[in-house]
Structure 1
Amino acid sequence: MQAQDVHIQKKSENIVIKEDGSFVRNIRVQVKASENPAVYPIFYDHELERIEEIEVFERKGRRLKQIEEPIIATRDVELDVIASKRIKSIIVPPGDGAVINYAVHCDELMYLSSLPLFSYRDVDTLDYTLNVPSSRTLVRDIIHSDALRNFSMDSVVTKTGTRWKIRLTPDEIESNPLSLFGIYRNSRDPLMRMIFPPAAYGRDGKRYLNDWYLEKVNTRRGINKTVATQVDALTEGISDPREQMEIIYQYIQQNFKYVALEIGMGAFIPRHANQVFANKEGDCKDLSNLLSQALNYKGIKSDIALAATYNHITDCDFPSLSSADHVVCLAYVDGERFILDPTDPIHIAATPVQSIQNRTLLLVNEAGGEWIEADGASPEENSIEYQVSLEGNASNLELQGSFEVVYGGISGNFLKRSYATMAPREFTASGTVHYESVFGNQSVSELQAVNNKNDFSISGKLAVNGKRFDDANSEFLFLDFVPRLFETIERNQILEGTHFGSTFRKRVVIRVQMETPFAAFEPREKNYSAEGIDLQVRMSSPSERVVEYSYEFSVDYQRADKENLERINKGLEFFKKTVDEPIVLEKKV
């Protein structure tokens, strides 16, 4: 039986924070009666945590009888981004219920950065008790609190500190391998973020996290002669600091492999810059630290910053390790600040980093840290321009022609990434499949791509079938092959949580040259506008043989959420109606 099938009456955690900065989570799980054996899993990091004092009791009426030798299996977890995680699986016998007690010991208090206010199993009641010594203060906040049920939190001052008690009825949510180990992606579930500054910091969690992180990172800084020689060779003859910055940035982007090896606190603290350089690989914190050290060596002021990508459960706007899932580099040239992400192989300095647009960063520096906001691109900066030219074929009613699309800003990053990593033939095959989908499963061929610094363009041949029907007096032209509004999303309805990659403005112009003349018609315009979204559709006949259909679509959202979902889907419904209605062309006699 899978762990998710365990039904829990109550789960309690009594967390004791010690004066030396370590902590213990004393956990008690009351399992409901079951006719079948089940498995209760304990997920932990064996580099940071020790599981001790495991006790299993089976319920006999009103009494509990301890199982002297409970069945416990331990195995390592093999995941790409996690290297030090394990699972202890405790067999729960069938019967009237059971109780499991165990303790989780950890020597690094900063690792206690959040409490999940939800559950991956059926739990009636979730209790937390936090015992905070007088030498420290609990600083906290709760995200997505609107999803909480029967939540209460209060505190009592004791002789040794403060005892916080939290109780709630948790929602059961679907788990995935990463979330079981505290890596929350594409989630909107309630979470309490925490930090415990020493008394000297008061409630200044930002300064405490900054100083703690800085102390750890300082031991991984500095570059040796080998690294310095390479940096000097790259910038030889270049005196302009911005040009030096761009050369070093591109070198690390293009010559270092992204490898996430997270062992214990290595999930948060980078490896030494010299080690990363020697291995030619690393993850975001490793490569950002190396880049920062190389820039500082050349006299370009640089720091690193904690960040949260768009699919993280929260923004990095609260001083807790649980707030961040990314690290970037910041550089300063002639009074201008540049956010650099060496793990993004297509990012260009002075443009927004797509994964952290408009997100909060915690700049780690000697001045106690600083909250800053990453830039985001406007819809106008992320333009998408389609030009489609088609001609009718009287023999088979097919439309044949060509198309070209130019992506400005970061709107075409999804293509640029594929272009940078795929062989040309593979990219062409993948692109052909994509654009055939974009054009409503019509035929695309002879695809050509041009990758410029500030834009990306695609052109090709297009053949459209099954969209023309005629009778003696009229011809019906269906335009449901028009490129869809959201290019990377095939559904007619957007789901909450869908990320669009960026805001954008899209303009599509389709010109169809017919074989026989038709009666000109008055231009027709249809518009839909709501907060953050605008769609303007126009149909016209510039001449007696030409039909022109165009639309301009602007969306000022990066993702669909509870607030904007209805507006976005109404826009999609409006668009579908416009393309589902045929244009009726009255033939000239």
Structure 2
Amino acid sequence: MYLKEKVRVLLFSLLISPGWLMSQDVEAITKMYPNALAVTANQKREMTFFMQKNTPLAQTTEEIEMLMLNDKANGIYNNYSIYNSSFEEVKNLEAYTKVPDGNKYKKIKVTDFKTKDATSRSVFYDDFKETTFNFPSLSKGAIAAVSHTELHKEIRLIGPVYFMSHMPILNMEFTINFPQSMDVRYIVKNNNGNIINITESSKGRQKTVTFSAKNINIKERYFNEAAVSYNEPHVIIYVASYQDEKNNQVPVFDSQQNFYKWNYNFLKGINTEHSNSIKELADSLTINKPDAYEKAKSIFQWVQAHIKYVAFEDGLEGFIPRQAKDVYAKRYGDCKDMSSLLTDLLLSAGLQAHFTWIGTRKIAYDYDEVHLPITDNHMISTVKIGDEWIFLDATDPNCIFGFPTQDIQGKQALIAIDNNNYKIIRVPEVTAGKNKYTDSTVLRITDNGLSGHVNVAFSGYFGNDIYNALVYKDPKDVKEYVKYKVSKGNNKFNLEDYKITYPDKDQKNVNINATFNLPDYGTRIGNEYYLNLNLDKFFNAATIDTAKRKVAVNNDYMYQAEHFTTLEIPDNYKVTYVPKDLSIKNKNYTASIKYISNASKIVVKQVIESQSIWMTPSEFNEWNTMVKELTNAYKEQIVLQKK
């Protein structure tokens, strides 16, 4: 779905200090990190910027030493990988294991290195290469070491360095060296508690900046936390400008404007003329459409339905869209290609459309703060209708026209106007009321428990999710999926019959109607029948351990969920107890449970509404209070008594 991952995140880089570990007590380190099987003992990455043939380049030396604290590390940390692409050249790769041998180490060199394409499921072709090898003999006290040199052929694509790893780090150092004539800048992110120390120095015509940290423990991961760039400490390095051979200062990324110019350069020569095939298609899709909105929707939906997403990532092709006419002829392309066709069709129909770069929510940065290639990983098309900007991402075949895809909500979009002009617009977050889930259930008491009929209506992102989930399912899988979506009460729930309807495919509305029975549900004691009518606990969530978790919760989208559960009361029963109503409101959520009863029926109305995609640690206590109140309310039962 996404534009080429322009830069690989650099997680490991070490400088070996011979003999340092010999004086260390493995047992003492084990006590420091009792849950770790290994630690990064000493880590350094040294990056040097220089000029070659009037071109700025950078070279990095990185080496790594990992100390095994337990024999169980063998089989877990043996395999290691080094990545590179057409923008980086890896040289001088060396790896070995130092195995304890009395009061010294025995060195066992790695000789078998294998290089292959580093493909992923989401990418059809990728120019990244992966060199893999195995460390031998990783017993307790052994040291796994690896070193290599990396030539950065394109300084604009240097990635961030993270001061965090999958194992504790005892010492880490990242140094950059650059000439006085080169303006190299850095941004330090998530340096809470000043984990990263920074020192700057100059010697002759050379400048040096060193970033260092000690005793960095691993971070606990959470299911619904944001990507690492939001929380983990890291350093972003970039070249603002450099001095050429004529002593002219050449701008690189010294401003947002120059970053935009670099990006826009990839659009030059793209769709400079509308081909006859594109014009004819645009005309056929917009004929008899009453206004610009309907014209844009028709074009967007055609591209969604007829162009297959296939990712190609090969050098600069990871940045350059293909010509719209070629994408149309081949009927496939990546996000840039789909944007190319979509933008050209919209322009051919007389609409105001633009290529647009954007970072998904995997990336923490805004263009206002970080005007660098690492800030975006995706391309879409944007059309302006009246005063409204509509963000169009055709890579999601079921995204609703007028909705951004879920992964770009709240992100800044860089909209290309022309060679020198652009706009940065923040993509709106879709409000809760547009993403609705409404469950209407009617229950009847039987001799063996309950029988019922349920109608569940999904709209907005809820509907989008259902459409995407059902695309490739066979009938058997569909039934299981429906059971999962409408299941109630307990594990004895039996789905009898169901029907899926699509009342508005444009808006991705979906209805599921089903009949079911719940044997042995409720408790009968004498003439009384105890029933919990909170059969579907939509908000079946857990409290947050505020002592441990210090990172925000990141949800897919805001939503509104409504449940109406109606119990038809038999003529020979009467209601003798109804639980109290509940109402909760905090910064991020509102929740309520309301009971309405008369002689013939009792209705339980439950409403949950989320009002933010993000929940910060300062809001966790409010969340926990709400969860506890709802959990207690979900346990409440009504009481019926035979007349």
**Given the two structures, how large is their TM-score scaled by the length of structure 1?**
0.84
**Structure 1 residues 80-89 or 110-119, which shifts more?**
80-89
1:438 to 1:352, Cα distance in 2 relative to 1, 3 A: farther
Q: Could you tell me how far apart the structure 2 residues matched to 1:261 and 1:296 are?
A: 25
Matched, 1:76 2:122: no
Q: Which moved more, 1:550-559 or 1:272-281?
A: 272-281
Q: Secondary structure at the match of 1:292?
A: helix
TM-superposed deviation, 1:546: 2.0
Taking the aligned partners of 1:172 and 1:248, their CA distance within structure 2 comes to: 48
Which residue in the other structure is 1:167 paired with? 212
Aligned counterpart, 2:377: 325
What's 1:291 paired with? 342
CA 1:117–1:370: 2 relative to 1, 3 Å: farther
2:425 alignment counterpart = 372
Q: Name the residue aligned to 2:63.
A: 28
- Alignment match of 2:498 (pick from 426, 432, 447): 447
Q: CA deviation at 1:331?
A: 0.9
Asked if 1 retains the 8 angstrom alpha-carbon contact of 2:489 and 2:518, the reply is no
Structure 1 residues 335 and 557: CA distance shift in structure 2, 3 A: closer
Identity of aligned residues (%): 16
Quick one: structure 1 residues 232 and 63, their matched pair in 2 at CA, closer, same or farther if it must change by over 3 Å?
A: farther
Counterpart of 2:91 in structure 1 is 52
CA separation in 1, counterparts of 2:165 and 2:387?
A: 48
Contact 1:76 1:86 in 2 (8 A): yes
- Measure how far apart 1:264 and its partner are: 3.1
Is 2:38–2:68's contact at 8 Å kept on the other side of the alignment?
no
Report what 1:518 is aligned to: 574
Comparing 469-478 and 95-104, the one that deviates more:
95-104
Aligned residues of 2:110 and 2:133 also touching (Cα < 8 A):
no
What's the counterpart of residue 178 of structure 1?
Answer: none
- Equivalent residue letter for 1:465: P
Q: Deviations over 1:209-260 (max 9, x none)?
A: 2111110232444454443443343334557433332222111111111212
Q: 1:10 to 1:185 in 2, by over 3 A?
A: closer
**8 Å contact kept, 1:45–1:264:** no
- 1:373 Cα deviation from its structure 2 partner: 0.8
For residues 357-376 of structure 1, the C-alpha deviation after alignment (integer angstroms, 9 at most, x for no partner) is 22222234434543221011
Structure 2 counterpart of 1:193: 236
Cα displacement (A) at 1:133 = 4.1
Q: 1:573 aligns with which of 628, 632, 637?
A: 628
8 Å contact 1:432–1:447 — kept in the other structure?
no
Contact 1:76 1:84 in 2 (8 A): yes
Once residues 224 and 80 of structure 1 are traced to their aligned partners in structure 2, the CA distance between those partners, rounded to angstroms, is 33
1:131 to 141, 155, 177: 177
Give the drift of 1:521. 4.9
Distance of 2:596 and 2:634 partners within structure 1: 14
CA distance 1:447–1:313, shift in 2 (3 Å):
farther
Q: How do 1:109-508 residues align onto structure 2 when only pairs under 5 Å count?
A: 109-134=155-180, 136-146=182-192, 150-160=195-205, 162-169=207-214, 170-172=216-218, 188-198=231-241, 199=249, 201=251, 204-222=254-272, 224-236=275-287, 238=289, 240-312=291-363, 318-366=370-418, 367-393=420-446, 395-396=447-448, 398-420=449-471, 422=473, 426-436=477-487, 442-451=493-502, 452=504, 453-454=506-507, 455-485=509-539, 492=542, 500-508=555-563
Specify the code of the residue in structure 1 equivalent to 2:426.
E
1:168 Cα deviation from its structure 2 partner: 1.7
Letter of the aligned partner of 1:88 in structure 2? T
Q: Please, what TM-score do these two structures have when normalized by structure 2? A: 0.78
Moved more, 266-275 or 449-458: 266-275
SS at match of 1:196: strand
Describe the shift of the 1:567–1:414 C-alpha distance in structure 2 as closer, same or farther (beyond 3 A): farther
- Quick one: distance in 1 between partners of 2:329 and 2:220? 41
Unaligned runs of 5+ in 1: 176-182
Cα distance change on mapping 1:28 and 1:276 into 2, 3 Å: same
Could you say which residue in structure 2 is the equivalent of 1:180? none
| Distance in 2, Cα, partners of 1:64 & 1:46 | 35
Deviations 1:518-575 (A, max 9, x none): 14557721223322112111223222x4222121211113255534444334423322
The whole-number CA distance in structure 2 between the counterparts of 1:448 and 1:412 is: 15
8 Å CA contact 1:120, 1:174 repeated in 2? no
Structure 2: runs of 5+ lacking an equivalent: 1-11, 13-35, 242-248
Change (3 A) 1:273 1:354: same
Distance in 2 (alpha carbons) for counterparts of 1:520 and 1:418? 43
The Cα offsets for residues 41-91 of structure 1, whole Å up to 9 and x where unpaired, read as: 342233222111335588799999999985533333332245223333456
SS of 1:524's equivalent in the other structure is coil
Partner AA of 2:386 in structure 1:
D
Matching of residues 535-574 of structure 1 within 5 Å:
535-543=591-599, 545-559=600-614, 562-574=617-629
Tell me by how many angstroms 1:104 deviates. 0.6
CA contact (8 A) 1:254 1:345 kept: yes
Across the aligned residues of Structure 1 and Structure 2, the Cα RMSD in angstroms comes to: 3.7
Aligned amino acid, residue 216 of structure 1: F
Counterpart residue number, 2:24: none
Which amino acid in structure 2 is aligned with residue 106 of structure 1? H
Asked whether the equivalents of residues 479 and 580 of structure 1 are also in contact (C-alpha less than 8 Å), the reply is no
> Mean Cα displacement is larger for which, 552-561 or 207-216?
552-561
Aligned residues: 571
Amino acid at match of 1:482: D
Deviation at 1:450, TM superposition (A): 2.7
Give the C-alpha shift of residue 112 in structure 1. 0.4
Change (3 A) 1:237 1:377: closer
Measure the CA separation in 2 of the matches of 1:44 and 1:174: 26
- The 1-side partners of 2:122 and 2:339 are apart by 17
Q: How does 1:59-98 map to 2 (within 5 A)?
A: 70-81=111-122, 83-89=126-132, 97=143
Question: Is the CA contact (8 Å cut-off) linking 2:495 and 2:515 kept in structure 1?
Answer: yes
Deviation at 1:342, TM superposition (A): 0.7
For residues 401 and 489 of structure 2, what CA distance do their matches in structure 1 show?
Answer: 31
Deviation of 1:389 (Å): 1.2
